């Protein structure tokens, strides 16, 4: 399905990013597994892709650093060729703990800025670096990972959700401008994804309540999110851009 594609997945050493990288690799893409600190986990993702006959390599870069992103893009190009599928999944570390979260009156501008720099700033840096090549080739798929909290703030994580809402707005503006170049830009919006490091602090009561409220009566898994990314990266979604697909079992319905 994705043979001949080169995919860059940011924040791909674990959780959603790792599942997305494995899925893209399983369907034929050469996968650049971006990570920041956990080299061992990134190499395990690479090894898993290669053991199934795919091609992958780990690339360390802080996506909030434009120079580091430029270096990573050059390394990916040298290894696999230019990336034509980009999945922006990296974010600032965040604990989804409904009991320890900051309220609106406790959340500072610094908190918002940190999350904006991670989710939006990282995506801006990656897209600005990759877009000239995509424009020149007249082809590209960009998929940005947001959250269903932008539509249904079941727990008001103010700084995190605001940053993801900004990423959604950025994505739709990109989609409007890049369509004439043959580049699509879409978002995937998971609900609470379990198991991931970020969801470990969610209480049993919160998970139970979400499952009860979810029409499909379970939480999303990393593989559920990867399936949605695969769709947007494939030719099946060639005429879809500016969309946001909620992967939350029906909690958000449009």
Question: Is 253 domain-assigned?
Answer: no
In a domain, 219, yes or no: yes
Does a structural domain hold residue 254? no
- pLDDT at residue number 52: 93
Active-site choice (35, 94, 157, 160): 160
**Domain range for 201:** 6-247
Terminus-to-terminus CA distance in the chain, angstroms? 28
pLDDT the model gives residue 201: 67
pLDDT of residue 211: 87
Rounded Cα distance between 184 and 193, Å, is 25
Going edge to edge, which strands form the sheet with 6-9? 55-60, 30-35, 6-9, 85-88, 140-145, 183-190, 244-247
Q: Does residue 160 have an active-site annotation? A: yes
Q: Please list, in sequence order, all residues whose beta carbon lies within 8 angstroms of the beta carbon of residue 95, skipping any fewer than 6 positions away.
A: 198, 201
pLDDT in tens, the chain (254 residues): 899 999 999 999 999 999 999 999 999 999 999 999 999 999 999 999 999 999 999 999 999 999 999 999 999 999 999 999 999 999 988 777 777 888 899 999 999 999 999 999 999 999 999 999 999 999 999 999 999 999 999 889 999 999 999 999 999 999 999 999 999 999 999 998 887 766 666 777 777 888 898 899 998 999 999 999 999 999 999 999 999 999 999 998 98
Provide the domain count of the chain.
1
Residue 185's CATH number: 3.40.50.720
204 belongs to a structural domain? yes
pLDDT at 136: 94
What confidence score (pLDDT) does residue 198 get? 66
Residue 66 lies in a domain: yes
Is 1 within the bounds of a domain? no
Q: Residue 242 — φ and ψ, nearest 5°?
A: 75, 10
Residue 117 in domain: yes
Give the C-alpha separation, 154 to 214, whole Å. 12
Q: Is residue 252 part of a domain?
A: no
Cα–Cα distance for residue pair 98/80, rounded to 1 Å? 42
pLDDT of res. 199: 65
């Amino acid at each position: 399905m994705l043979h001949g594609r080169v995919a860059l997945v940011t924040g791909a050493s674990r959780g959603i990013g790792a599942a997305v990288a494995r899925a893209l690799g399983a369907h034929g893409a050469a996968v650049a597994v971006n990570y920041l600190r956990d080299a061992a986990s990134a190499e395990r993702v690479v090894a898993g892709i290669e053991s199934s006959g795919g091609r992958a390599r780990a690339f360390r870069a802080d996506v909030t650093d434009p120079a580091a992103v430029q270096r990573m893009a050059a390394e990916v190009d040298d290894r696999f060729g230019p990336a034509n599928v980009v999945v922006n999944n990296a974010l600032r570390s965040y604990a989804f703990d409904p009991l320890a979260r900051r309220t609106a009156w406790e959340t500072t501008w610094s908190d918002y800025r940190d999350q904006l720099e991670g989710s939006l700033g990282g995506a801006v840096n990656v897209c600005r670096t990759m877009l000239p090549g995509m424009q020149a080739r007249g082809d590209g798929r960009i998929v940005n990972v947001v959250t269903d909290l932008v539509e249904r703030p079941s727990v008001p994580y103010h700084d995190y959700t605001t940053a993801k809402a900004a990423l959604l707005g950025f994505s739709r503006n990109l989609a409007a401008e890049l369509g004439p170049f043959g580049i699509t830009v879409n978002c995937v919006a998971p609900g609470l994804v379990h198991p991931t490091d970020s969801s470990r602090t969610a209480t049993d009561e919160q998970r139970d309540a979400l499952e009860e409220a979810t029409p499909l009566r379970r939480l999303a898994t990393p593989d559920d999110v990867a399936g949605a990314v695969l769709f947007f990266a494939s030719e099946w979604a060639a005429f879809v851009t500016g969309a946001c697909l909620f992967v939350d079992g029906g909690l958000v319905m449009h």
